[in-house]
Amino acid sequence: MATVTVSETLKTLAKDLNKDYPRSPRETLGGYVIAGRTLDKCRAVLNGSQGEYHFNCPLDRLFLDFSGIDADEFKAYVATGASDEEVGEWIKSHAKQQERIEVVRWNNQQRYSTIKELPDQLQLFMEDYIAEVVPAGKVVYHWFDVYDIEEKRI
Amino acid sequence: MSTIPAEENSLSTLAKPLTPKDLSKAPPRSPREMLGGYVIAARTLDKCRAMLNGTQGDYNFGHYMDNLFFSFSGISATAFKAYVATGATDEEVADWIRLNARQNDPIEVVKWNNQCRYSTPKDMPEPFQLFMEDYIAQNVPRHRPVYHVFDIFDLEENRL
């Protein structure tokens, strides 16, 4: 992986994920769900404040693989200190989707998938993860709930 | 979102004083509430009365959801509106719906109700998904997840 130069602006934008949470995967950036969260984690990794979070994790890969965006290119652009709006525009100009409905369909597929609709490997991972991070009495209806419950947004 | 053409909207006004809702001040009923055994229909009725009364606010009669009910029941929006304009009560409209809808077997209605209640936006036609992508972002409070299509309206109108 190429060395990335981190701008001073990036440091002011990066969250400290030891103390704060990345955005919900439901929030959109450049029109894509997950992408806002991916950006928060990417900035934090570049800033050394990622805590236990990982950039380019299986959740990020869903966004990156669907959009056709290369993780290293994304990271290099984020390292310039680009704002949310700038990253949103960059995503739109680099993603392979031409029609908005393609993105909306994919967004809804992610938003409204239940755990039983996920790939086997993800179901296997989530089996223990949910037991570990979702409090008793909280119900996971859709996949994104796992993150929103864990991070106390819902 | 499709709406009833303007010329049909000028068809009639309420014949009897029924005190329709002022939808600029209070929302119509939830799409989950039933009338004549059908979900959506009570909301459609509230919007129809308000439109006839000139108190529809930002709501539209003949909206996509109304048309789901009209398409399934086989009831024409124009005939519905004309009957509502007579000042019929909820009970009278419910009986009229039962009389005019094409369903003969109650299970047909129950299955459709459940299809409507438990659909997510990803189950809906593409134009609806496209419309709702921005609509949900603009109208549903942050961190209030939409699980089913009806949640959009119940969250927006503070019933959930």
Q: In the predicted model, is pLDDT for residue B57 greater than 90?
A: yes
Which domain covers residue B79, as residue numbers? 6-117
As a whole number, mean pLDDT of residues B55-79 equals 96
Which positions in chain B touch A154 (Cβ < 8 Å)?
Answer: 143-145
In a domain, B125, yes or no: no
In a domain, B110, yes or no: yes
Reported ipTM: the value is 0.82
User: Across the strands, what pairs with A29?
Assistant: A32
The pLDDT value recorded for residue B3 is 43
Q: In the predicted model, is pLDDT for residue B7 greater than 50?
A: no
As a whole number, mean pLDDT of residues B51-69 equals 95
Interchain CB distance below 8 Å, B137 and A24: no
As a whole number, mean pLDDT of residues A98-127 equals 94
**Which residue in B33, B78, B89, B31 sits closest to B51, CA to CA?**
B78
Which positions in chain B touch A105 (Cβ < 8 Å)?
Answer: 122, 126, 129
Write the single-letter amino acid at B64: Y
The pLDDT value recorded for residue A3 is 73
User: Exposed, middle or buried by CB within 10 Å (0-12, 13-18, 19+), for B24?
Assistant: exposed
Interchain CB distance below 8 Å, A109 and B130: no
Which positions in chain A touch B143 (Cβ < 8 Å)?
Answer: 24, 148, 153-154
As a whole number, mean pLDDT of residues B122-151 equals 96
The pLDDT value recorded for residue B13 is 58
Q: In the predicted model, is pLDDT for residue B58 greater than 70?
A: yes
In a domain, B67, yes or no: yes
Q: In the predicted model, is pLDDT for residue B128 greater than 60?
A: yes
As a whole number, mean pLDDT of residues B73-95 equals 97
What is d(CA A87, CA A31) in angstroms, rounded to the nearest whole number?
Answer: 11
Using DSSP, state whether B27 is helix, strand or coil.
coil
CB atoms within 10 A of CB B46: 23
pLDDT band at B90 (very low <50, low <70, confident <90, very high): very high
As a whole number, mean pLDDT of residues B115-137 equals 95
Write the single-letter amino acid at A58: P
As a whole number, mean pLDDT of residues B41-52 equals 97
Interchain CB distance below 8 Å, B122 and A112: yes
**Mean of the per-residue pLDDT values of chain B:** 90
Distance from CA of B140 to the nearest CA of A (A): 12
Q: How many helices (H) and strands (E) does chain A have?
A: 8, 0
As a whole number, mean pLDDT of residues A116-125 equals 91
As a whole number, mean pLDDT of residues A33-40 equals 98
- pTM for this model (two decimals): 0.86
Domain segments of chain A as ranges: 8-111, 113-154
Interchain CB distance below 8 Å, A112 and B137: no
The pLDDT value recorded for residue B11 is 45
In a domain, B154, yes or no: no
Which positions in chain A touch B122 (Cβ < 8 Å)?
Answer: 105, 108-109, 111-112
Q: Are B32 and B39 spatial neighbours (Cβ–Cβ below 8 Å)?
A: yes
B143: nearest CB among A101, A111, A153 = A153
Chain B neighbours among A 62-101 (CB < 8 Å)? 100-101
The pLDDT value recorded for residue A5 is 86
Q: How many domains does chain B have?
A: 1
Which positions in chain A touch B145 (Cβ < 8 Å)?
Answer: 26, 141-142, 144-145, 148, 154
Q: In the predicted model, is pLDDT for residue A71 greater than 60?
A: yes
User: Any CB–CB contact under 8 A between A131 and chain B?
Assistant: no
**Which residue in B73, B44, B41 sits closest to B61, CA to CA?**
B44
